[in-house]
Amino acid sequence: MSDTKTGARDVVLRLDRITKRFGALVANDAISLTLHRGEVVALLGENGAGKTTLMNILFGHYVADEGRVEVFGAPLPPGHPRAALEAGVGMVHQHFTLADNLTVTENILLGTAPLWRIGLGLGAAKERIAQLSKDFGLAVHPDAKVGRLTVGERQRVEILKALYRDARILILDEPTAVLTPQETDALFDTLRKAVGMGLSIVFISHKLHEVMAISDRCVVLRHGRMVGEVDTHETDRHRLAELMVGAEITPPDVSPATPGPALLRLADVSTPNEGAAPGLQSVTLDLRAGQITGLAGVSGNGQAALSDLISGLRLPESGQLLLDGDAQHKWSPRRAVHSGIARIPEDRHHTGTIADFTLTENAILETYMDAPVSRGGWMNWSAAEGLTQEVIKTYDVRCPGPDTRIRLLSGGNMQKLILGRVLERAPKVILANQPVRGLDIGAITYVHNRLLAARDAGAAVLLISEDLDEIIQLSDVIHVLSEGRLSPEFPRGSKTPAELGLWMAGQGFEGGAHAA
Partner 1 sequence: MRLEPIANPSLARQLGYPAAALGLTVVVASLLALIAGANPFATLGLILKGAAGSKFALLETLNRATPLIFTGLAVAVAFRAKLWNIGAEAQLYGGAIITVVVGTSVLATLPTVPHLFVMALCAAVVGALILLGPVILKTRFGVDEVVTTLLFNFIMLLFVSYLLEGPMKDPMGMGWPKSEALAKDARLPRIVDGLRLHWGFALAILSAIAVWLIQTRTTLGYEIRAVGQNIRAARFAGIPVNAVLVKTALLSGGLAALAGFSEVAGLKGHLSLDLSPGFGYTGIIVAMLALLHPLGVVVSAVFVAGVFVGSDSMSRAADVPTYIADMLMAIALLFMVLAILLTKVRVVRG
**Which helix H or strand E contains 448, and what residues bound it?**
helix 441-456
Which CB sits closer to partner 1, 134 or 407?
A: 407
Q: How far is the C-alpha of 346 from the C-alpha of 350, rounded, in Å?
A: 9
**Minimum gap (Å) between residue 36 Cβ and partner 1:** 30
For the CB of residue 312, give the shortest distance to partner 1 in the complex, in Å. 7
Nearest to 336 by CA among 430, 245, 412, 246: 430
Instruction: Give the nearer residue to partner 1 in terms of CB position, either 320 or 351.
Output: 351
Q: Least CB distance from residue 428 to partner 1, whole Å? A: 17
The nearer residue to partner 1, 38 or 50, going by C-beta atoms, is: 50
Q: DSSP string covering 226-291, please?
A: EEEEEEGGG--HHHHHHHHHSS-------PPP---SEEEEEEEEE---BTTB----SEEEEEETTE
Give the torsion through C-alpha atoms of 90, 93, 99, 105, to 10 deg: 40
Q: Which is nearer to partner 1, 118 or 354 (CB)?
A: 354
Q: Which of 331, 342, 315 is nearest to 421 (CA)?
A: 342
Amino acid at 266: L
Q: Cis peptide before 78, with omega less than 30 degrees from 0?
A: no
Q: Which is nearer to partner 1, 72 or 357 (CB)?
A: 357
- Binding residues for partner 1, rule: CB under 8 A, are 22-23, 62-63, 78-79, 311-313, 332-334, 336-337, 343, 345, 350-357, 361, 365-366, 368-369, 374, 377-379, 407-408
- Taking the complex as a whole, the smallest distance from the CB of residue 382 to partner 1 amounts, in Å, to 12
Work out how close the CB of 248 gets to partner 1 at its nearest, in angstroms, rounded to a whole number: 32
User: Closest distance between partner 1 and the C-beta of residue 25, in Å?
Assistant: 9
Residues 384-401 as b or e (16 or more Cβ within 10 Å = b): bbebbeebbeebebebee
Eight-class DSSP state of 49: S
Spatial neighbors of 275 by CB under 8 A, at least 6 apart, are: none
20-52 CB burial, b ≥16 within 10 A, e <16: beeeeebbbbebebbbbbbbbbbbbbbbbbbbb
Q: What minimum distance in Å lies between the beta carbon of 361 and partner 1? A: 7
Nearer to partner 1, 298 or 422 (CB): 422
> Within 10 Å of residue 5's Cβ, how many Cβ atoms?
8
Smallest distance from partner 1 to CB 203, Å: 28
In this complex, which beta carbon is closest to partner 1, that of residue 66 or of residue 268? 66
Minimum separation from the CB atom of position 383 to partner 1 (A): 13
Residues in a beta bridge with 286? 265
Task: Pick the closer one to partner 1 by CB: 129 or 430.
Answer: 430
List 481's β-bridge partners, or say none: 486
- Using the minimum distance from each CB to partner 1, give the nearer residue, 63 or 74: 63
